[in-house]
Structure 1
């Protein structure tokens, strides 16, 4: 993502993705990268950042006819090369233009953004591109990037076994939301609480983050960007679904049902009067977009087959919208934002922010274990629950033995030792091992008694917000 302040432009995050693109650029000969992800996730910005200073051509496909896209591609190619044969007076085919673009000695990058639009304007375009790649481009010093927001079509046209382009890619990037660990770079002056409050709405979606102005308070930003008719995020979940799916109403109803508290497949199908097996089809589409996740207790040995799976909204903004915007649409349509704002003021922390805090704590712990903070024995981290109780964070080792146990409390008072005692009791009910690590995250720090206990017991780790104190 790019943040602009005055005349200074700063690109934040996406280190892994940039490394992948640079690796493909350094590859001898040709490379073919597939880049896809939901709208507003930062695909175009990533491509343009990567292409800076390199011999490259960026082409944005449109929903026009193929012939018009071809004319535009030829025009861009003429601007880049200055070759008279590419001028508007000559009508060339795709293969001829690609040929003229890639005859140089150095590596040329050709990025085609919103590739699905080309396919929609010409259903056989992927076959055409396959021929161009096989007969010419794969033997040249070229890097081809196909990018798109229509995730299902990107998969079916470029990654699926039945696609004409199957097997040609040298790398693919499914661009996800920016992690919370990079979020502070967007708002360097904000406190931990202010950062988490914004993140609970925007998540890691770059376009959403850009809308929140540091000089305005939280309610002002929510009002201007979400609650006001015509604002960018006023109907964002509807736009997302309309763009990706034909059966928008069904997907919308499923999201709404989950947001209202139904998490089991049987509960969702019952409320929507749908056959339970058909729910899986729609869930797969929502999970492909990173809007929904299926969660099972982390100790399950076969997660895919587990009958304990629960569906939860993964996207912070969608969860916020269904909880604090959609129920007040009648008021908002009359430009009355007061009821929605009052609901946000009174229940935002308990019904939304505290759950986001738990997920971010879990994300932070995953990053710590990945960096070897607890050694190299932890294989998975997630939630655990049974019919009677649950634990916010559990980490299991390679033998599926629970080793790490964590609790996250977003409260106004310091965490006391009773929270640790309760966590230790729960841990003893799911594992007999005495080699246990306890990790506690707290919004407002810890009681002196708990801090003293942690200093005496090296298996107890305390994190004030996300910063370790002991």
Structure 2
């Protein structure tokens, strides 16, 4: 299979689109998602077996050029030659005729590029939806990578398209199990590490599809410009004052985690920095680690977007090494640096895994001092079990070569004993490299959850929450 033809996952998204298409009457949908998340690929797959008009607009193009794009696609669908439109209204009238004559899926891909060409575009689309589409059984979809523009069109009461779309679908990154098909040559542990580097962004997995793990590392080092471009475009396409936002990201990448420290590192007033942090959280570049169980009341910030994190924490800080041309030695040198990076990303993945597989009222981390020393607990959650009981859950995440032993469990037990208001805690160990046999043998009787690679990569179901232990560990 050609890498560009690979399509994995998105079953629930396709099912939802099919339900909109199959419902009586017309249907409308907005598809949102960051760059490279797979919006276009999803919609192309959805349209494959349907009478459809798929129009992808161009960045920076004039309205005349956009009309030429529309004319070309419409003439191809109708099997006619030399269609020409003088105005956007003429093009929409032609699309209306198509929808009246036959059930059709209309897709306007990269809709923000069309909107920026003329002020009346959204108003003319509104008229099409109100006066034409609703009298047909056709379906109209808009999507685009500039999420701020897309949400403004749909959610701003002053915009013509406010409340005109019955369905809004936001594409999340693919889970790791859906990325396995891109990497048939990788072991489960290597798949995990690649996923920690790229996240669930299919375009990046497709780019490295079929490579060995070392070849992926070398390819990232020797061809790092594309990752730099993607990391920067994600900010510059969405936010005003991107240079200041990038200073905030740099401060977090350099280890600053609280709003005050980040503001100082970025050279910004705290009120301005707070706004920029909100912007970065909104578009998925920065995440918030919620304090739990009496931790500091100030949340911690971290780089959520995997590409941004890898670019800034590995590639940018190893610029001189990346010019080295001995591929084997370069891969080995990068392995050492990447290991620390992956350990941090593994904690993020484990937290996400727990929140996706267990009903949680709250989830975050604990950090503070025990016996005068700074320490933390990676995952802390209030989960609801099958009996509706609230459970206090404490977890440690270990991304290392050796299987987890009793020592890790003992350390976690000791930390939990020092916390206040803990009742019947449930302890969880997440491990990249498995567990020692004696720990496996005793964990079930102790009510300790052991979650390894098979569960984390989707090869087996997540274990259920154990019964409440008869006594505090």
CA distance in 2, matches of 1:101, 1:386: 64
User: Counterpart of 2:2?
Assistant: 4
CA distance in 1, matches of 2:394, 2:86: 68
| Residues 1:209 and 2:202 aligned together | no
Contact 2:291 2:297 in 1 (8 A): no
Give TM-score scaled by structure 1 length: 0.86
Match of 1:393 among 379, 388, 398: 379
| Residues 1:171 and 2:159 aligned together | no
User: Counterpart of 1:59?
Assistant: 55
The 3 A distance-change label for structure 1 pair 78 and 465 is: closer
- The runs of 5 or more residues in structure 1 that have no matched partner are 371-377
> Cα deviations across residues 298-328 of structure 1 (Å, max 9, x unaligned)?
4589xxxx94211110011211111121134
Match of 2:90 among 75, 85, 93: 93
CA distance in 1, matches of 2:240, 2:306: 24
> Cα deviations across residues 403-429 of structure 1 (Å, max 9, x unaligned)?
222211122322222321222233344
Map 1:26-425 to 2 at 5 A: 26-62=22-58, 63-82=60-79, 87-88=83-84, 93-105=90-102, 107-218=103-214, 220-228=215-223, 231-298=225-292, 307-329=297-319, 344-350=334-340, 352-369=341-358, 378-387=360-369, 388-397=374-383, 402-425=391-414
RMSD between aligned residues: 3.1
CA distance in 1, matches of 2:95, 2:191: 46
CA distance in 2, matches of 1:223, 1:246: 34
The 3 A distance-change label for structure 1 pair 383 and 19 is: farther
Contact 2:52 2:105 in 1 (8 A): yes
Give TM-score scaled by structure 2 length: 0.85
- The runs of 5 or more residues in structure 2 that have no matched partner are 464-473
CA distance in 2, matches of 1:5, 1:237: 22
| Residues 1:452 and 2:441 aligned together | yes
CA distance in 2, matches of 1:243, 1:71: 25
> Cα deviations across residues 382-406 of structure 1 (Å, max 9, x unaligned)?
3233454321222204699552222
SS of the residue 1:188 aligns to: coil
CA distance in 2, matches of 1:425, 1:185: 41
Contact 1:415 1:447 in 2 (8 A): yes
The 3 A distance-change label for structure 1 pair 97 and 269 is: same
CA distance in 2, matches of 1:403, 1:71: 60
Task: Give, in angstroms, the shift of residue 338 of structure 1.
Answer: 10
**Count of aligned positions:** 449
